[in-house]
């Protein structure tokens, strides 16, 4: 009986410690990735501002998830443009473009099915001498509970990988580094 009580108390102490430590984790999931592309901002922006173009370069594509399908609503580009998706691996979600400053900035809100938090994302384009620096930033507020904070650490890792893949796909699309890949012009 004493052994069972000791195990129960040990588990309780471990659970309480993990719960307390989780509050040391950030209250938001924030990720940022950048890439330099050898295209002018106006050309790069065409692929960001039109949600129908995202499937050609982003991590949310048929190669990553063959069951994925995309739906679009609102205007084809700019404020109010909507992009919804559903797939076995990528899950279900929606992105709505909220603010645009052609060709320097695009802001969107993104909601994933099963998550209460809304992600705010944006692209900033900076014209360099003969290229463009694209910075992709996402921030998601997390609920104030231990489970949400722990899930936020996993979300950060997953989001960083998706942003890296997306920017690499944009580079391949714009610079033609994908041998044999057909580029779709806008």
User: What's the whole-number average pLDDT of the chain?
Assistant: 89
CATH placement of domain 27-175: 3.30.530.20
State the pairing for strand pair 118-127/132-141. Answer: antiparallel
Contacts of 76 (CB under 8 A, 6+ apart): 50, 52
Contact of 118 with 111, CB cutoff 8 Å: yes
What pTM did the predictor assign? 0.82
Return the domain boundaries, the chain: 27-175
Contact of 137 with 122, CB cutoff 8 Å: yes
State the pairing for strand pair 132-141/28-37. Answer: antiparallel
* Residue range 85-95, pLDDT digits in tens: 999 998 999 99
Average pLDDT over every residue of 132-160: 90
* 106 band by pLDDT with thresholds 50, 70 and 90: very high
* Residue range 38-57, pLDDT digits in tens: 999 999 999 999 999 999 99
């Amino acid at each position: 009986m004493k052994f069972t009580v000791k195990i129960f108390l040990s588990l309780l102490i471990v659970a309480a410690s993990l719960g307390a430590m989780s509050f040391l984790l950030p209250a938001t999931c924030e990720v940022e990735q950048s890439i330099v592309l050898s295209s002018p901002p106006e050309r790069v922006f065409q692929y960001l501002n039109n949600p129908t173009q995202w499937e050609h370069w982003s991590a949310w594509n048929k190669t990553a998830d063959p069951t994925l399908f995309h739906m679009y609503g609102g205007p084809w580009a700019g404020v109010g443009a909507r992009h919804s998706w559903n797939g076995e691996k990528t899950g279900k979600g929606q992105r709505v473009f909220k603010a645009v400053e052609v060709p320097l900035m695009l802001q969107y809100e993104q909601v994933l099915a099963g998550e209460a938090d809304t992600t705010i994302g944006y692209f900033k384009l900076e014209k360099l001498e003969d290229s463009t620096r694209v910075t992709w930033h996402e921030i998601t507020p997390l609920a104030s509970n231990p489970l949400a904070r722990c899930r936020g650490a996993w979300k950060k890792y997953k989001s960083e990988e998706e942003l890296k893949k997306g920017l690499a796909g944009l580079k391949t699309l714009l610079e033609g580094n994908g041998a044999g890949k057909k580029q779709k012009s806008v």
